[in-house]
Amino acid sequence: MNIDIAFLSTWALPLVFLGPLIAAVITFVLGASAVSRFIGLLVPLGVFAVSIALVIATMDGQVVVSQIAGWPGGVAIAFVGDLFSALMLGVSSLLVFTSMVFSYAAGLGIDRWFVPAVLVMTGGVYGAYVTADLFNLFVMVEVALLPSYILMSRRGTLTALRAARLYLIVNLTASTLFLAGLGAVYGVTGTVNMAALAGLGVLPVVGVATGVVVIALSLKAALVPTHSWLPATYPYTSPAVTALFSGLLTKIGVYALVRIISLVYEPGQLVTVIVVLACVASMVIGVLGALGEGTIRGVLTFHMISQVGYILVGVVLAGAVGLAAVVFYLIHHTIVKTSLFLTGGTVEHEEGTGIIKRLGGLARAHPVASLAFLLAALSLTGIPPFSGFWAKLGVLNAAADAGSVLVFAAALIVSVGTLGSMLKLGSGVFWGTPKGMREEEDEETPSDVTVGPETVGATGVAIDVATAVEAPPVTRWRPLLVIPGLALALISLGIGLYPEWLLALSDTAGQSLSEPTAYVTAVLGGGS
């Protein structure tokens, strides 16, 4: 299939960033109308179409570059599309579309701020995937974060506002550190163009300066030991917003870490050793936290920390093999974790709580939601024939090729813990004793208080039960709440049954990341 490279480089790449921002202005003017909601669905579909065209154009290793205003490479603001960024655009726009469908079914479409805020946030995320400049990456991240502060605090309860305050403090701290790192990198190299920084990490002064940026991005990605803010914030907004945040905002940090570490540093440097230790710690601490949580989103949020470790450990293992595992795992995780958050959000909306002790026996009454959870949980655990099996197999292969016994053992042991936490969720929510038939009394929460998922957590955050958000009324389960999570779970199953195409794309992307000559030449040379 022939793809017009000139169109992609001239219009399509800039529009994946600018298009959602323009649409955000339009939807804000229109207010909470049906047209606004339609635009909110149309934009991610448009980005998905661009991503498909970009995948086809770059699947042979080609790099598409748009140099804004015709300035030479290394000077101009550059938008760059390679296979890695194309795949991330595709999976991100897919999760935005499904999350928006869920959001409308949950009633968030009546908030005039919701659609414009999501569009601005997604514009920043898409822009981060196609920028080739560290300063522009910083700008894109801030564009994505600004509306997230609004979305985090829209519930208006004291619990939600406390979580939003912590979320704001953490991200402002990370952004300040990011900016300081940018200044240091520019001060010692005279550039913040990522292609121009390729391989310069071997110079100690550049390695340390870039390391400040890596620390800031690790905080945004919730990599241990900078992880504790994530389970203290994400479970306390609405389920739809949590799903969007999990699939978009933490993925910016993960994507940027993959891009920067693979470009700037060489295998065996001190920073790569530190990354390995942080990743293993994230895998273990995340799954232990999930085992100790008492709410649906609490369990899933701790698993985000564990899975970030799985994803990033491949960056510093076995070159192209490890980076191919990173690409596949990142796509798998984005799909599966969003599916789990959406299915868990369905339970919260329709049952009035996300507390596991207050649920149980839902499988008989709601078999579709139970099926969606089962498929996604099996994939997250790594059971064949789901996409998670191939993702974890890639990590194990990379660890074996690199001779890393620590990573290999940790990956296997943590998989058992993941299975245990998924069994805990499944038995407690869908296949356990139905609510109302249990003899034990929940001593954590007064029985005469209606609570939401904000009430309990294993994060050490003090939560006032009396100020918890009122749970939505128990209603007949709405199909549009259940279908998005099921659709993503079925996509994971499809990838697991027919993995060859994605494995091939991941191998090509991993090869390009490990040998970035084509990327560097295209960006600094000024063309595709």
State the DSSP string of 12-76: IHHHHHHHHHHHHHHHHHH-SSHHHHHHHHHHHHHHHHHHHHHHHHHTTS--EEEEGGGPPTTTS
Angstrom distance (rounded) from CA 495 to CA 506: 13
Mean pLDDT by runs of 10 across the 528 residues of the chain is: 66 89 95 93 96 93 81 72 95 96 89 93 96 93 93 79 91 95 95 92 92 94 92 90 91 93 84 88 94 92 93 85 94 95 91 86 87 94 92 92 91 93 91 63 38 37 35 57 94 96 96 92 73
- Phi, psi (deg, nearest 5) at residue 131: -85, 150
Q: pTM above 0.85? A: yes
Give residue 12's pLDDT: 83
Give the CA-trace dihedral at 338, 344, 348, 353, to 10 degrees. Answer: -130
Q: Which domain holds residue 368?
A: 5-525
**Number of structural domains in the chain:** 1
Instruction: Report how far residue 277's alpha carbon sits from residue 125's, in angstroms, rounded to the nearest whole number.
Output: 28
The 10 Å Cβ neighbour count of residue 181 is 23
Q: Which two tokens stand for residue 158?
A: 């004291």
Name residue 295's beta-bridge partners.
355
The pLDDT of residue 464 is 36
Distance CA 399, CA 406 (A): 8
CB 249 within 8 A of CB 147: no
Q: How far is CA 358 from the centre of its chain?
A: 29
Q: What is the pLDDT of residue 454?
A: 36
Q: By the 8 A CB rule, do 519 and 193 touch? A: no
Q: By three-state DSSP, how is residue 133 classified?
A: strand
> Is residue 80 classed as helix, strand or coil in its secondary structure?
strand
What pLDDT is attached to residue 466? 32
Strand partners, 65: 80
Whole-Å CA distances, 272 to 178, 207, 214, 257, 302: 19, 11, 11, 11, 24
Who's near 283: CB < 8 A, 6+ residues apart?
306, 309, 310, 313, 410, 411, 414
The residues facing 96 across adjacent strands are none
CA dihedral 289, 291, 294, 300 (to 10 degrees): 70
Q: What is the pLDDT of residue 366?
A: 85
Counting DSSP H helices and E strands in the chain, the numbers are 19, 2
Exposure class string for 59-87: b at 16+ Cβ within 10 A, else e: beebbbbbbeeeeebbebbbbbbbbbbbb
On the question of a cis peptide bond just before residue 225, with omega within 30 degrees of 0, the verdict is yes
Concatenated DSSP letters of 346-401:
HHHHHHS--BGGG---HHHH-HHHHHHHHHHHHHHHT-TTSHHHHHHHHHHHHHHH
